[in-house]
Chains A and B, each alone.
Chain A
């Protein structure tokens, strides 16, 4: 591999900031040896020498590529500095919003600032609750207020259930009797001989028939 000839040129620091020169140099460290010097104030001399093991394409036109890279980094730094404030602001906002305590404080503030949803509705609810208290007069006939763990409550609930079931059964029987009386009065049924058949007998027959089907 032929030894490459070093390329030497100077860069004006007033045009390209030192940071951009360093950044451009860093991009070339894999394919070239780089030395910087400062022959005079405001000038930086750059010596580029392609590495022997660098690929052929990367050994040519080092100076032109370096200048392009220099321009790229100078522009990047300029944009970065002009956007610095907004970037800092965004990061600060993001960090603040990520803090849980901040969330709580904000929620509290919002809750304090928010108006009462509906004063009328709240008043109405209070009145209803007062009315319920007044009507029940502190009584608890079904022992709802007593916790289930207490055995007496279990028994009371069971007793109440049985009583309710019995009452329902009695009511149903009386209803059926009424219906049968009504049917006998209004719709008389006779057998083939012409003698009247009581509705209770008919109901029993129907019940037996249904039971047989089941």
Chain B
């Protein structure tokens, strides 16, 4: 499965790293920063996460977005 791509103008590396830290317990995450996209590779650890890999990626994406909003004082 291909890695997730996050546009560097819309998702900051700090937010992705923070989200990766929080998801570290249930998934092995690798972040490759780049332009114009940061690439994130997510691999669920065992069956700790109840859903599928697809759901994990979407949850991760939402969490990164929420962290971006928090960093900008929007929540």
Contacts and interface: CB of A to CB of B under 8 A. Distances in A.
A74 interface: no
A33 B58 contact: yes
Interface stretch (B16-24, B41-49, B63-71): B63-71
B74 A36 contact: no
B69 A37 contact: no
B61 A34 contact: yes
Interface string A34-72: 111110000010000100000000000000000000000
Given A34-B62, A49-B58, A26 B10 contact: no
A44 B6 CA distance: 12
Interface residues of B, number: 16
B65 A34 contact: yes
B10 A37 contact: yes
Nearest to A25: B65
Contact of B69 (A25, A33, A49): A25
Given A36-B7, A37-B7, A44-B10, A26 B69 contact: yes
Interface string B13-56: 00000000000000000000000100000000000000000000
Contacts of B36: 38
B19 to A, nearest CB: 13
Nearest to A49: B58
A101 to B, nearest CB: 31
A55 to B, nearest CB: 17
Contacts of A166: none
Most A CB within 10 A of own CB, among B10, B58, B72 = B10
Nearest to B58: A33
Contacts of B68: 22
B75 A26 contact: yes
Contacts of B72: 19, 22
Given A22-B65, A26-B69, A34-B65, 19 more contacts: A19-B74, A22-B68, A22-B69, A23-B69, A25-B65, A25-B69, A26-B66, A26-B74, A29-B62, A29-B65, A29-B66, A33-B58, A33-B59, A35-B58, A35-B61, A36-B11, A37-B10, A38-B9, A44-B10
